[in-house]
Amino acid sequence: DIVMTQSPDSLAVSLGERATINCKSSQSILYSSTNKNYLAWYQKKPGQPPKLLVYWASTRESGVPDRFSGSGSGTEFTLTISSLQAEDVAVYYCQQYFTTPQTFGPGTKVEIK
């Protein structure tokens, strides 16, 4: 199975400041024939289902604010919240879908400083 790791475990950011979450996969999740990275990012708030933010590592889901952006390739990926808003307090998960089983990272908790 592909193991996903995330850093940091948690971070506190001031309103309006940038939040950066890192995700690493234990093997490359870049499919050479499509040149696509099989990685998604989700936002999870208590009592709610996960919300898809980004797929193919950098494609923002429809309706997701443009302050959320994904980047990276191969084994290292980043989710950036360019200007943190109060409603962004949540746990963020990366997930690979390159191979079965799809696997999630352990999550990064984002709070307001």
Residues that bind another protein (CB under 8 A): 38, 40, 42, 44, 48-50, 52, 55, 61, 93, 95, 97, 100-107
> Closest Cα to residue 79, out of 59, 63, 97, 62?
59
Interior CA angle at 38 toward 70 and 5, to 5°? 70
**Comparison of 13 and 54: residue with beta carbon closer to another protein:** 54
**Comparison of 16 and 49: residue with beta carbon closer to another protein:** 49
Shortest Cβ 60–another protein spacing (Å): 11
Shortest Cβ 95–another protein spacing (Å): 7
Q: Residues near 7 by Cβ (< 8 Å), separated by ≥ 6?
A: 21, 22, 24, 108
Asked whether the beta carbons of 21 and 108 are under 8 A apart, the reply is: yes
**Comparison of 67 and 98: residue with beta carbon closer to another protein:** 98
Shortest Cβ 55–another protein spacing (Å): 5
**Comparison of 12 and 52: residue with beta carbon closer to another protein:** 52
Q: What is the CA radius of gyration of the chain?
A: 13
Shortest Cβ 6–another protein spacing (Å): 10
Length of the chain measured in residues: 113
